[in-house]
Amino acid sequence: MKIAIYSRKSKFTGKGDSIENQIQLCREYAYKCFNSTNDNIMIYEDEGFTGGSSDRPQFKLMLKDAKSKKFQVLICYRLDRISRNIADFSTLIEVLQENGISFISIKEQFDTSTPIGRAMMYIASVFAQLERETIAERIRDNMLQLAKTGRWLGGVTPTGFDSKELIFLDPSGKERKIYKLAPLGEEIEIVKLIYKKFLELDSLTQLERFCIQNGIKTKNGLDYSRFALRNILTNPVYAVADKDSYNYFINNNYQVYADLNEFSDNRGIMAYNKTIQNKNMTNKLRDTSEWIIAVGKHPGIISGKDWVKVQNMIEKNRTKTFRRTKNTKSLLSGILRCGNCGSFMRPKMGRVNKEGIRVFYYLCELKEKSKREKCNIKNIKGNDLDNLVISEIKKLPYQGIFLSEEMKKNKNKIINTKNNFPSEIDMLEASIEYNNEAIANLVNSLSQGQNSNATKYIIEQINELDKKNKNIKKRLVCLEKESKSSKLKANSKEIADDININFCYMVDTMNPVRKRYLIRAVIDKIIWDGDNIKILTFGTDS
């Protein structure tokens, strides 16, 4: 019995990985269900052609061969590989039926040899047009097939590795290309050092400090952060595929796509399906239970015993790693920068003063991490700086566009350049916050009891503010649909004026979180050079 296999891939890449996986799955079905051999299998594959049209060379050849009765069974991976057009699909089924050819879709398990099978096939062809609903499942099937090969799928290679091309012949004799990871001398030695020092120091913070103090940089020439170090230390790609690593993955509910006897020749580990990838968004790690673990083609760098020890240490110490002070009252985190090295300045708690107020300071992150070796800028009192910034913003509508009052307690000169307005989105969101606060205050006034005239006026004010919020929210929706642009719009000046004029009323009634949000609607960044503070509003030159 002659078996035909048809596969299709919309985008031409020159690699053919998806087509190869489709064909392999169909081959395995033919071997199992029809006792076929490669000699009895005919392959038709269209790469770079959409399923919305039947104008595909191999598809046309398959139809011609079907009419010539060159095969008795047609197998495909999924219905949508044949066609996403219902009319074309119906035509194909009619041709196959007229020539006594059975059609099988291995994913949907449909067989046209029965009436109910044919009916279900037509129904399923409608749903085949909704391919986006099954993308994740197809990707996972590909991942499982690729896991057998241990290949590198492309993208940014892990630190210490490069991508190397391999050429091989598939069962039909066709030349294929795959890629594997290959160690890079200097980079891989840095990775080994990172593991060694972590095992010694038992601390991501100390490891980060060690790298900064010794000038150990990332492959992009940047200082290593704790986040980057943790990514290296938790990446299975560096682990040797041995009994220790195998037991770790099994005991921690990873999906291991290999037997224990394959974890025995010092090869490294490949982890597939690690991230959730969304367009225009940062990739997020999946839960490790969704990862697909396989033995790679590259050599392992860190013994399974040491790699597992590192994982246990990180898990044990994750609450002991460097933590930024959770100071809910600090307002300038994220916009205050060190004028010496450019790092962010973060709050650090100090003592309680005579007035019973907890004093805190802003200090440079790089200074903290390097123990003053890479930066030694002076700290600045956070309570005073926060109050000063609020005070200066309040004065904008009344004293012009320059911030000029000296900081009395620390004798720090305030320098500011021309004031421009923030992005329209920020201003709209800040305006909504202000209106909500105003509504809350008006409602509170109502609850305290008012005469009839005042009550009528308050209700009118509430309705007016609510109407404004609805219009602002509509504008926000439009902006988000357009491009979420941060450019100034012509109609944003009035809103910015309202924020500046009413800032003093808004900020005094808000909690620290909303104060922080409101400040960021006006201030782009603040720079501390050890003597002076420079406040830059949106649109000003640094």
Strand order through the sheet with 110-111: 41-47, 3-9, 73-76, 102-105, 110-111
pLDDT of residue 238: 96
Taking a C-beta distance cutoff of 8 angstroms, is the pair 248, 306 a contact? no
How far is residue 270's CA from residue 260's CA, in Å, rounded to a whole number? Answer: 15
205 — alpha (psi -120 to 50), left (phi > 0) or beta?
alpha
How would you write the pLDDT of the chain (542 residues) with one tens digit per residue? 899 999 988 765 544 457 888 899 999 999 988 888 888 999 998 887 877 778 889 999 999 999 999 999 999 988 778 877 666 777 787 788 889 898 888 887 776 666 666 666 666 555 544 544 455 566 667 767 766 778 888 888 999 999 998 887 777 888 888 889 999 989 999 999 999 999 999 999 889 989 988 989 998 888 888 889 999 999 999 999 999 999 999 999 898 988 888 898 789 999 988 887 654 456 678 888 889 899 999 999 999 999 999 999 998 887 554 444 455 678 888 889 999 898 889 888 878 777 778 888 999 988 888 878 889 898 998 888 888 888 877 776 655 443 333 333 333 433 433 333 334 566 667 677 777 767 766 666 655 554 455 666 666 677 777 777 777 777 766 665 554 334 443 344 455 555 555 666 667 667 777 778 778 777 888 999 888 888 887 555 54
Please report the pLDDT score of residue 486 as a whole number.
Answer: 40
Give Cα separations from 129 to 74, 353, 508 (angstroms).
20, 69, 57
- The predicted structure's pLDDT at residue 73: 92
pLDDT in tens, 426-449: 666 767 777 776 776 666 665 555
What pLDDT, on the 0 to 100 scale, is given for residue 124? 56
Give residue 93's identity as a one-letter amino acid code: I
pLDDT of residue 497: 54
Distance between CA atoms of residues 96 and 92, nearest Å: 6
C-alpha to C-alpha distance for 59 and 40, rounded to whole angstroms:
19
Query: In three state form, how does the secondary structure of 325-356 look?
Result: CCCCCCCCCCCEEECCCCCEEEEEEEEECCCC
Report the C-alpha gap between 525 and 389 in whole angstroms: 11
For residue 506, the model assigns a pLDDT of 67
8 A C-beta contact, residue 463 and residue 442:
no
Pairing of strands 336-338, 413-416: unpaired
What six digits make up the tokens of 323?
Answer: 């933590």
- Report pLDDT for 6: 93
Q: Is the pTM of this model over 0.95?
A: no
d(CA 510, CA 53): 60
Is the separation of the CB atoms in 315 and 202 below 8 Å?
Answer: no
Q: How far apart are CA 366 and CA 340, in angstroms?
A: 10
> Closest Cα to residue 361, out of 338, 391, 381?
381
The answer to whether 29 touches 104, Cβ cutoff 8 Å, is yes
**Distance from C-alpha of 190 to C-alpha of 221, rounded to nearest angstrom:** 13
Nearest C-alpha neighbor of 538 from the set 475, 485, 484, 487: 487
Record the tokens describing residue 74, joined without a space: 């047609």
Which pair of tokens denotes residue 430? 């800040």
